[in-house]
Amino acid sequence: MVNDQIVNEIMRTFKIGGVHPQDNKQFSAHRPITECPLPKQAIIPLVQHIGAPAQAVVKEGDKVKVGELLAKAGGFVSANICSPISGTVTKIGDWTDAWGAPGQAIFIDVQGDEWLPEIDRTPDLIRSCTLDPKAIIDKIAAAGIVGLGGACFPTHVKLLSPPGKKAEVLIVNGVECEPYLTCDHQLMLEHGDEIVIGIEILKRALGVDRAIIGIENNKKDAIEHMTKLVQTKLGIEVLPLKLKYPQGGEKQLIDACIGRQVPSGALPIEVGAVVDNVATIYAVYEAVQKNKPLISRVMTVTGKKVTKPGNYSVRFGTPIDEVIALAGGVPVDTGKIIGGGPMMGRAMDHTEGMPANKRLSGLLFLPEAESIRPEEENCIRCSKCVQACPMGLEPYLLQRLNELEMYDEMEKHAVMDCIDCGCCVFACPAHRRLLDGIRPGKAKVGAILRERAAAKAAEKK
């Protein structure tokens, strides 16, 4: 035990800030991935990624098979959406998600489970990949793969290095630093082989000869398992990381793994790194080797009072109520249902009509007692938020500046670097809702910056 602590102390981690929330992974950890039954009706939102909404290519009345393209990417930063089920398109129209954001969705009545013939549904491993980088990236784009770690950035866009920049290392995110969530952990344990092949495919696509799999030290079996699998592979290493939130943040993970810090406002490629989550890499394997587009994901359904917490493989479009039923229903004293983990996940107003989708990594049920935020007290200037901030910002100051509407000052104090991780609020002994002020301030500064850039561009013309 003491030994463990010493080992943990000498492990690598990111340099600035960070907090140590209770990981609470025991509820759903090591529960085998369970297939969720097909729904009767599927709702496929057209926004399941960062960037432009996808554009529907099917129309009402069309029969679709599993894997068929439903909507194509609506811009450079956007992603395809392939059908996760087979059936008849009944409606394409307005739809509002559980957070009240309006958008469009495709509604499909499910009939049978008929797949496109080119999809390989056997569990056989296909190890060799001889495709050239362009072909790999095209396949990934066609499959509609986005980052499944949370941000949902289209993966094929990440793989295209901007001109003049060259990737040197692929960093594989097996950190899963959000408390409660265990889907990536279980995926590594059950599909480690596929992930390793996926890593080799991505290395090929990027033209890099080094990959580092970062895994936090609270998943010792995954570290052991992955280490064994990469033993014979050249240029892939497993790096156990000291437990600290938000290690799974892209910039923090790069810092932890290779000791380089991505400059403010820059992309990881600036320091020669590309980061992909293990679930994303598993999807890459399936797309490239098995022709299977991204049509499902593993979701963790968990909470202290959930009767059957676990990791469920869910086809997109499946109403989350069905997944919840599988996990034993909503516990009686539930106050909050969170899409994702407790640090960055979003609390849902209701669950009806909300489907599983690329963005939803888990469902967390918090008991009422843990759902109500304690009353705010005066800031006592203890500087715990400054110490906690992994970006080296001053949350207390940013929040105050937002109250005063001093956006120029906020910009100077690097509000745009804020990654929304919640460390400051987590650490605040006065229960101040710092992010409630920083988020809108950041949005405002972002808008000002865009305006300024547009004005500059117009001037040049």
Partner 1 sequence: MKNFIVAPAPHAHSGDSVRRNMLLVILALLPAYVVSVLEFGYGALITAAISVCACVCTEWLISRFLLKEHKQTIGDLSAVLTGLLLAFNLPSNIDWWIILIGAVVAIGIGKMSFGGLGQNPFNPALVGRVFLLISFPAQMTTWPQPAHVDAWTGATPLYYLKYIVKEHANTTAANDVAQSIDSLPDLMQSLLGAMGGSLGEVCALALIIGGIFLICTRVITWHIPVSIIATVALFAACTGWFGGLPEGMDTCHYVGYELLTGGLMLGAFFMATDYVTSPMTAKGKILFGIGIGFIMMVIRTWGNYPEGMSFAILIMNAVVPLLNKFRPTRFGEIKK
- 334 lines the binding site for partner 1 (CB under 8 A): yes
Question: The tokens of 88 are what?
Answer: 């008849």
Judged by CB under 8 A, the residue of 209, 263, 443, 453 near partner 1 is 263
- Residue 350 and residue 68 in contact, taking contact as beta carbons nearer than 8 Å: no
- Specify the stretch interacting with partner 1 by CB under 8 A; choose among 126-134, 233-241, 341-349, 452-460: 341-349
Amino acid (one-letter) located at 293? P
CB of residue 321 vs partner 1: minimum separation in angstroms? Answer: 11
Question: The tokens of 8 are what?
Answer: 């943990």
Q: Which residues contact 69 (CB under 8 A, 6 or more apart)?
A: 57, 80, 81, 82, 83, 142
- 319 lines the binding site for partner 1 (CB under 8 A): no
How distant, in Å, are the alpha carbons of 150, 374, 391, 403, 453 from that of 396?
26, 18, 14, 11, 28
Judged by CB under 8 A, the residue of 378, 458, 459, 460 near partner 1 is 378
Distance between CA atoms of residues 316 and 82, nearest Å = 10
- Residue 417 and residue 241 in contact, taking contact as beta carbons nearer than 8 Å: no
Judged by CB under 8 A, the residue of 77, 382, 443, 453 near partner 1 is 382
- Specify the stretch interacting with partner 1 by CB under 8 A; choose among 154-162, 183-191, 299-307, 346-354: 346-354
Task: Provide the 3-class DSSP secondary structure of residue 389.
Answer: coil
- Specify the stretch interacting with partner 1 by CB under 8 A; choose among 31-39, 66-74, 304-312, 369-377: 369-377
Closest CA to 248 of 279, 277, 219, 221: 277
- Cross-strand bridge partners of residue 214: 173, 239
Judged by CB under 8 A, the residue of 127, 228, 373, 450 near partner 1 is 373
Q: How many CA atoms lie within 13 A of 291 on its CB side?
A: 12
DSSP annotation of 49: S
Identify residues 97-116 at the interface with partner 1 (CB under 8 A): 99
- 387 lines the binding site for partner 1 (CB under 8 A): yes
The per-type count for the chain, helices as H runs and strands as E runs, is 14, 17
- Specify the stretch interacting with partner 1 by CB under 8 A; choose among 28-36, 127-135, 196-204, 386-394: 386-394
**Can the peptide bond before residue 246 be classed as cis, meaning omega within 30 degrees of 0?**
yes
Judged by CB under 8 A, the residue of 16, 33, 119, 129 near partner 1 is 16
- 431 lines the binding site for partner 1 (CB under 8 A): yes
Judged by CB under 8 A, the residue of 109, 322, 394, 409 near partner 1 is 394
Site string for partner 1, 146-185 (x = CB under 8 A): ---------------------------------x------
CB of residue 151 vs partner 1: minimum separation in angstroms? Answer: 14
- 26 lines the binding site for partner 1 (CB under 8 A): no
- 377 lines the binding site for partner 1 (CB under 8 A): yes
